[in-house]
């Protein structure tokens, strides 16, 4: 089931390609387009932190399967499967960053719709999203997908800045998708 999950995906709006060395400089540029956002992420993909974090994504450190997010031939971000539990048919989507120029509109629906629809098709029945409680934009984005807020894990992660983070947990089950997401599944 894991190998079926971790494959290239595409629709008319976006391509998700397994992260490769060829994506390094494009992702570096995309991540540098918004240096203000990184303090609410658990890891940093800018400056001197970029290369070690990119290398970790390439080798699957921490059980993460990373994608380069491609629009019109250009790398505009990254996203990942992680917490893959084939026995429980559960998976997480996260470590997502998209450049400011593609935020808003239907881009997140197109990107997440690829992943969510694919997860359902290969037999997963629960997807969860872990979001720093300070990141209101990401919380709103997952709610727009149809996710349910399950609660908050208090002080469960220390971010790259040393901040002791609280994490809001959201989940999505088949049939709970929002009307805005359904066309992209």
Q: Is the pTM of this model over 0.85?
A: yes
Tokens at 96, concatenated: 């997502």
Say if residue 182's pLDDT is above 90. Answer: yes
Average pLDDT, the chain: 96
Say if residue 132's pLDDT is above 90. Answer: yes
Domains contained in the chain, number: 1
Say if residue 2's pLDDT is above 70. Answer: no
Identify the CATH number of the domain in which residue 45 sits.
Answer: 3.40.630.30
Q: Read off the pLDDT of residues 29-88 as tens digits, 9 standing for 90 and up.
A: 999 999 999 999 999 999 999 999 999 999 987 789 999 999 999 999 999 999 999 999
What is the pLDDT averaged over residues 101-128? 96
Question: The sheet that has 148-158: what strands, in order across it?
Answer: 9-10, 15-18, 65-71, 74-85, 90-98, 126-132, 164-172, 148-158
Contacts of residue 118, defined as CB under 8 A and 6 or more positions apart, other chains included, come to 5, 7, 9
Which residues constitute the domain of residue 47? 2-184
Work out the pLDDT band at 1, boundaries 50, 70, 90: low
Handedness of CA 54, 56, 60, 65 (dihedral sign): negative
Say if residue 104's pLDDT is above 90. Answer: no
């Amino acid at each position: 089931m894991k190998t079926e999950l971790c494959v290239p995906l595409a629709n008319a709006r976006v391509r998700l390609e397994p992260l490769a060395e060829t994506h390094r400089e494009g992702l570096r540029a995309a991540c540098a387009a918004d240096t203000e956002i990184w303090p609410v992420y658990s890891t940093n993909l800018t400056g001197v932190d970029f290369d070690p974090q990119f290398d970790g994504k390439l080798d699957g450190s921490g059980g993460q399967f990373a994608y380069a997010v491609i629009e019109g031939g250009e790398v505009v971000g990254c996203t990942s499967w992680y917490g893959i539990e084939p026995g429980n048919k559960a998976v997480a989507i996260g470590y997502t960053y998209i450049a400011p120029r593609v935020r808003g509109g239907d881009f997140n629906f197109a990107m997440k719709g690829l992943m969510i629809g694919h997860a359902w098709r290969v037999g997963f029945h629960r997807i969860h999203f872990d979001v720093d409680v300070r990141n209101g934009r990401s919380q709103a984005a997952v709610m727009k997908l149809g996710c349910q807020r399950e609660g908050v894990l208090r002080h469960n992660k220390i971010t790259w800045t040393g901040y002791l983070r609280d994490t809001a947990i959201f989940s999505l089950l088949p049939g709970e998708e929002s009307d805005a997401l359904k066309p992209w599944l």
